[in-house]
Chain A
Amino acid sequence: MRANFIFSEVWIGLRRNLTMTVAVIVTVAIGMALLGVGLMINSQISTMKDFWSDKVEVSVFLCKKNDPFPACKGSGGVNAQEQAALSQQIKAMPQVESVSFEDSAHAYEVFKTTNSGNTVLLSAIRAEDMPESFRVKLKDPDTYTAVIEQLKGAPGVSNVVNQKEILEKFFALLESLRWAALVVAIILVFAATLLIGNTVRLSAYNRRRETGIMRLVGASNIYIQLPFVMEGVIAGLIGGVMSGVLLMVSKVFLFDKVQVYLANTVLTWETVTKVILITLIFGVVICILASFVTLRRYLRV
């Protein structure tokens, strides 16, 4: 096998139908980038789920004086007796792992750190405005419904909030984003396959003289087909590298920006590299397959 012979043939082939080659590269790049974004969102969802799964709590907010919540109407705020009873009731539940009490001052501290940028909001809210709450940690975060059922409407409780429910809405949003990216990626991969097929067909037609002679003098099939397949592979590789760049850009300018709001769930470069590798290999494999399938139809050997 003479490498320089193959490569000169490949180069001639790529140059002869440059426009098609560019089309292939762009389609592969965008398709693979979207596939990569899908994979990155996917890994993001799982790291976030891991991160949150042992942190989600059920917050049982207690009534304050003149609390606007309907459950607190006319109660004039929770009293010490009710609070102690609640604490007893929560601790007695079989699903509960631990429970802690968060007073107004502590709630205000947390509020201050999470909204440190928003001075207007901070100046408008005082420590006394923050509701007191029991923070209930469950043994299994999925068993929250029974806990909420029992605590909602108990005397002195203004509202029961399950963080998991909020997170799940957010995860659902991420998951639909992921599916959208994957569906568009599949469509583009399909388009890329057709484009590669077309490029190879054109290429085979352009070089029919050479391939005819190659067949005649007994060149082996692989020798005849390899230049065409390599054309596909090189276009796929360039497209893959471009998609890698797009993925790195999306990590820095998209994922890292969003992460600011989702503490501790950083998309690592390690994951990005893995995703880029996967998309690169996938792109090249698609190109090889598409080339081979078309060659079988348009290049008689």
Chain B
Amino acid sequence: MIHFDNVTKVYANQNRPALDHVSVDVDKGEFVFLVGPSGSGKSTFLRLVLKEERPDSGVIQVAGKDLSRLSNFKVPHLRRRIGCVFQDFRLLPNKNVYENVAFALEVIGKPRRFIRKVVPEVVELVGLEGKAHRMPDELSGGEQQRVAMARAFVNRPMILLADEPTGNIDPATSIGIMKVLDRINRTGTTVVMATHDAAIVDSMRKRVVELEDGKIVRDQSRGVYGQAY
């Protein structure tokens, strides 16, 4: 599903590469934790998958497509198959829960009938039934992140990228978030989650890829966050 072959990315004005000859494979339906300290290249990895950045060398394939051969015109179609969740939720403050989720479908031109059918289902899947008409500022952090997950998942992506989704949320609420991610993973969606949260990684017992200074230092199935922390 995601294939990195010897990928190196150096940002302009920086001499140290953000990713240094990284090779990794993520299969369809896998759940992968991307761990490592700040600046270790986790976010760069996710941005490369979205083709928000271009690698300086190496090959990236997403869903069987070589990203270097994907024209800019087709990048939106790639992104429709990838859902994204961030630490800061990125909801539209002037739209309610339903509208926030529906927005993701409206802007890719889905018919209204389809939106009316699908959005309530996804809102229920993330555990927000009955809160569809709340505004984001009336929701807790955990609930806001559920809205963001609903928006990321509503178009049934093949891949869900989560960049520290529990970073702004207390540990108790984080468990609920992880349950939703697990539920999404069980529908067959590949999930890649970058995180600092050792407790969550340890409790989930999923594959762990650890990055340090842009290099993969550990790739372990059913791993834990690591003894060093």
Contacts of A217 in B (CB 8 A): 79-80, 84, 103-104, 107-108, 151, 155
> Are B90 and A213 in touch, CB under 8 angstroms?
yes
> Are A2 and B109 in touch, CB under 8 angstroms?
yes
> Are B78 and A218 in touch, CB under 8 angstroms?
yes
> Are B108 and A223 in touch, CB under 8 angstroms?
yes
Interface residues of B in 49-89 (CB under 8 A from A): 50, 72-73, 76-82, 84
Closest 7 A/B residue pairs (Cβ): A218-B80, A218-B79, A219-B107, A217-B104, A218-B76, A214-B107, A220-B76
> Are A223 and B109 in touch, CB under 8 angstroms?
yes
Query: In chain B, what residue has the closest Cβ to A300?
Result: B52
Query: Interface majority SS on B: helix, strand, loop or mixed?
Result: helix
Chain A interface residue count: which class?
Answer: 10 to 19
> Are B108 and A220 in touch, CB under 8 angstroms?
yes
Interface residues of B in 87-146 (CB under 8 A from A): 90, 92, 103-104, 106-109, 112
* A126 → chain B closest CB, angstroms: 85
Query: Can you list 18 A-B pairs, Cβ within 8 angstroms, ordered by A?
Result: A5-B106, A209-B90, A212-B90, A213-B92, A213-B104, A213-B107, A214-B107, A216-B50, A216-B84, A217-B80, A217-B107, A218-B76, A218-B79, A218-B81, A218-B82, A220-B76, A221-B73, A224-B107
Interface residues of A (CB under 8 A from B): 1-2, 5, 209-210, 212-221, 223-224, 301
In the bound complex, CA of A212 to CA of B107 (Å): 12
* A45 → chain B closest CB, angstroms: 48
Contacts of A1 in B (CB 8 A): 109
* B91 → chain A closest CB, angstroms: 9
In the bound complex, CA of A212 to CA of B76 (Å): 12
Query: In chain A, what residue has the closest Cβ to B152?
Result: A217
Query: In chain A, what residue has the closest Cβ to B83?
Result: A217
* B156 → chain A closest CB, angstroms: 12
> Are B79 and A216 in touch, CB under 8 angstroms?
yes
Task: Give the residue of A213, A215, A218, A301 whose beta carbon is less than 8 angstroms from that of B103.
Answer: A213
* A204 → chain B closest CB, angstroms: 16
In the bound complex, CA of A205 to CA of B106 (Å): 21
Contacts of A216 in B (CB 8 A): 50, 79, 84, 90
Query: In chain B, what residue has the closest Cβ to A9?
Result: B107
> Are A2 and B106 in touch, CB under 8 angstroms?
yes
Query: In chain A, what residue has the closest Cβ to B148?
Result: A213
Contacts of B73 in A (CB 8 A): 221
Sample of 14 further A-B pairs with CB below 8 A, known A5-B107, A210-B92: A5-B106, A212-B90, A213-B92, A213-B104, A213-B107, A213-B151, A216-B84, A217-B80, A217-B108, A217-B151, A218-B76, A218-B79, A218-B80, A220-B109
In the bound complex, CA of A209 to CA of B86 (Å): 14
* A11 → chain B closest CB, angstroms: 14
- Known pairs A1-B109, A5-B106, A214-B107; A219 contacts B76 (CB<8 A): yes
Query: In chain A, what residue has the closest Cβ to B79?
Result: A218
